[in-house]
């Protein structure tokens, strides 16, 4: 999912009065969390990259959580809309749904990427046969 796709989806599925800047700020908050809590705790070439920061609703950049885990983004945006509209019950439901989606992404990422500080090697034992 790209920034552009997400912004269009949020406005189509959950019409709201919030500015593009507000939504980009919310998106950058969750991307920073994913970057720090998930991505940077694992090995990979991303250790040489910078954390993404999006400044345009028409940005074609791909978000950090890939499909099918990208479902966490529209849920996150809904939760922020509900929170800022002071819709407590809807916010609580969206927050719980977001937590589930985020944990699914974390579990997948942890299963498929080597954590920082671990070495992936094979012990070979010479039995002298």
Residue 126 lies in a domain: no
**CA 74/CA 54 separation, integer angstroms:** 16
Residue 117 lies in a domain: no
Residue 45 lies in a domain: yes
Residue 24's alpha-carbon distances to 4, 10, 58, 127, in angstroms, are 11, 12, 11, 60
Residue 43: predicted pLDDT: 74
Residue 129: predicted pLDDT: 47
Residue 119: predicted pLDDT: 53
Residue 42 lies in a domain: yes
Question: What is the pTM for the complete model shown?
Answer: 0.85
Residue 121 lies in a domain: no
Residue 122 lies in a domain: no
Mean pLDDT, each 10-residue run in order, the chain (129 residues): 97 96 98 93 72 92 95 98 98 98 96 75 48
Domain that holds residue 108: 3-112
Residue 124 lies in a domain: no
When divided into structural domains, the chain yields a total of 1
Map residue 71 onto helix, strand or coil.
helix
């Amino acid at each position: 999912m790209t920034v552009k796709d997400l912004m269009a989806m949020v406005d189509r599925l959950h019409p709201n009065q919030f500015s593009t800047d507000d939504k980009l700020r919310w998106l950058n908050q969750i991307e920073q969390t994913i970057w720090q809590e998930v991505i940077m705790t694992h090995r990979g070439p991303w250790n040489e990259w910078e954390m993404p920061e999006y400044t345009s609703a028409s940005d074609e950049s791909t978000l950090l959580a890939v499909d099918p885990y990208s479902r966490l983004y529209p849920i996150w945006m809904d939760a922020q809309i509900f929170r800022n509209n002071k819709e407590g019950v809807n916010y609580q439901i969206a927050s719980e749904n977001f937590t589930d989606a985020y944990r699914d992404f974390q579990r997948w990422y942890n299963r498929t990427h080597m954590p920082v500080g671990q070495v992936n090697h094979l012990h070979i034992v010479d039995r002298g046969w």
